[in-house]
Amino acid sequence: MDAVLLDDWHAPPGTEAQFVEPIMRLPGGRFCYQPVSWAPAAVAPPPCLASGRITFGSFNNTAKLNDGVFDAWARILAAVPESRLVLKWRTFNDDALRQSVRGAFARRGIAAARIDLRGPSFHAEVLKEYADLDIALDPFPFSGGLTSCEALWMGVPAVTSPQGRVVSRQTFAFLSAIGLPELAATTAEEYVRIAVELARNRERLAALRAGLRERMRASPLMDVTGFAHRFEQCLIPTREKNHPSMLASRPG
């Protein structure tokens, strides 16, 4: 392998020792997102405006759940009265897992009635269910990838906690690309604070909801042509350095 393709958000200066390969940092980010054709055409308003309560949620793989995540999410729920948490993943059709997750929250003082566990459904239905969420809570240290992009596209702001590894910094990269790095926390305490403060600011939630798609469209995250050009410009010097024979054999 000639290099590992990353960016300044996934691999900030000083992280080179984590990699065997040289780092090729792609300006604007190493990901490029395009919504599927069956995504809802419009974004629903924040559900809290009608229900009067905040709904947090995560549609991430349940393998990303851990004690640190349960601790933070329970603290958020405790700090936001009457709030609830929607967790959706295909493994939630397993009764043992459902009991385990409910038990994890119960041990932290969160009643089962505040935890809504949803099993598998077709992708089009998954995207529609983002209308039920006010705020997405990103797991850590393995953050969301496509899941976070879909939440943002459906108007749901995500709170994340980037850490040392690349896999913990994906949602942070998306938020940075669209101009919302302030939704990324450096500690568990800050993660809780950001989520709670956002939950208390209904006006900001509504503004974010209405503007997230335009933020994404105007960002490098959805600039397909620009991504292809930047990717090409990154590859050329690497090829020239590591594979000069390819240049010599290139047709004039």
Confirm whether 40 is domain-assigned.
no
**CATH code: domain of residue 188:** 3.40.50.2000
The reported pLDDT for the residue numbered 8 is 86
Among 206, 158, 209, CA closest to 184 = 158
Q: How many distinct structural domains can be found in the chain?
A: 2
Whether 209 contacts 45, CB under 8 Å: yes
pLDDT tens digits for range 109-127: 999 999 999 999 999 999 9
Confirm whether 232 is domain-assigned.
yes
pLDDT tens digits for range 146-177: 999 999 999 999 999 999 888 999 999 999 99
- Local confidence band at 21 (pLDDT 50, 70, 90 cut-offs): confident
Whether 162 contacts 184, CB under 8 Å: yes
Which residues form the domain of 229? 4-32+223-248
Mark 4-24 as b/e (b = at least 16 C-beta within 10 Å). bbbbbbbbeeeeeeeeeeebb
Residues 61 and 111 in one domain: yes
Q: Map 127-176 to HEC letters.
A: HHHHHHCCEEECCCCCCCCHHHHHHHHCCCCEEECCCCCHHHCHHHHHHH
pLDDT tens digits for range 187-241: 999 999 999 999 999 999 999 999 999 999 999 999 999 999 999 988 876 655 6
Residues 182 and 236 in one domain: no
User: Coil, helix or strand for 51?
Assistant: helix
pLDDT above 70: residue 65:
yes
* Residue found by looking up tokens 């995207």 in the block: 127
Predicted TM-score (pTM) of this structure = 0.91
Compute the distance between CA of residue 193 and CA of residue 206 in angstroms, rounded to an integer. 19
Compute the distance between CA of residue 29 and CA of residue 170 in angstroms, rounded to an integer. 10
Q: Which two tokens stand for residue 167?
A: 């896999």
Angle between helix 170-177 and helix 146-153 axes, rounded to 10 deg: 40
